[in-house]
Amino acid sequence: MNLTYLLLGLLVFASSSGSHARVIDDLDNSIEMVDEKPSSQAMLHARSRLGKDWIRFVKTPPGKIIQTMGSPVEIVCEIMASPIPTVQWVVGHLPLSEIDSIESNVISESSTTAVVKIRSVHIIDHMISEPRTYTCVGRTGSNTIYASTIVYPQADFKDLVQIREKPFRGPFRPRIVYSERIHMELVGSNVVLPCKVHARPRAEVTWLNVEGNRIEQSHRYKLLPSGDLLITKMKWEDMGVYKCIARNGMGKDSIDVFLYPVRNEDEDQ
């Protein structure tokens, strides 16, 4: 059974959109999932794929979006892969040859055995003056996938070119723009759970553990300046749902990530 679809059939975490854009011709090819935790048999299937390069879209961004006057646009793509992929957004129409040559910008610790589901959000925080293409590019190893969205300015405001190209002013509530929803890794590994935030003023980021308690700095848990959570020498007991919360005076945003430590085969014998 294909591991990607197996995991997607077993795990789901709700996410809020919060976008003020109008979507048309939405090309949503997400797979229907149920809210269950993975079984031991599912983890055995997963372990057999650890260390093999593969990458798939869980959800592609919409094909077209119309930006309304004065409102930001949020474009979302979700990717599942092993090892941990890089996810980048490219502005403008590029041929495949140029997309393949884009340099990777690895955000978290490199791992050859992790299986992750990543959610990436690109925020357009200014009014555009002409249709523009935004492409989500995912890469792991020699595998590259990409999907594009064309964002159109609202036709009623086509004469306000100079105003529309300026960034929006004033504060805005946090939006978590890069996070993992699932992270599977071998017991004993160092794991970075990302939580990148777009906010003004800067948001305070906190993490809750599987018991729902706030995580404090310790020898095994470190809150990085980027907002990411570093777990060193992961144990089987670390399994569960962790929550990242970003908060400022305008509001808050949060995400859940399911962490599953995978036992080494030698330990199961």
Q: How confident is the model over 134-160, as pLDDT tens digits?
A: 999 999 988 999 999 999 988 655 555
Final residue before a domain boundary, out of 169, 197, 223: 169
261 vs 106 pLDDT, higher one: 261
**Domain co-membership, 200 together with 162:** no
Task: Give the predicted TM-score (pTM) of the model.
Answer: 0.77
Domains held by the chain: number: 2
pLDDT mean across residues, the chain: 78
Question: Which residue, 183, 178, 185, is CA-closest to 228?
Answer: 178
**Domain co-membership, 164 together with 176:** no
**Domain co-membership, 148 together with 182:** no
In a domain, 40, yes or no: no
Residue 12 has pLDDT above 60, yes or no: no
Average pLDDT score over residue span 83-92? 91
Final residue before a domain boundary, out of 152, 169, 186: 169
Split at pLDDT 50, 70, 90, the class of 49 is low
Q: What CATH code is carried by the domain that includes residue 157?
A: 2.60.40.10
In a domain, 60, yes or no: yes
**Domain co-membership, 162 together with 81:** yes
Domain that holds residue 237: 170-268
**Domain co-membership, 193 together with 238:** yes
**Domain co-membership, 174 together with 155:** no
* Sequential DSSP letters for 23-92: EES----PPP----PPPHHHHHHHHHHTT--EEEEEEPPPSEEEEPTT--EEEEEEEEEESPPEEEEEES
107 vs 200 pLDDT, higher one: 200
**Domain co-membership, 251 together with 174:** yes
Residue 31 has pLDDT above 50, yes or no: no
**Domain co-membership, 58 together with 164:** yes
- In one-letter notation, the amino acid at residue 259 is L
Average pLDDT score over residue span 219-243? 95
**Domain co-membership, 156 together with 208:** no
Average pLDDT score over residue span 37-47? 48
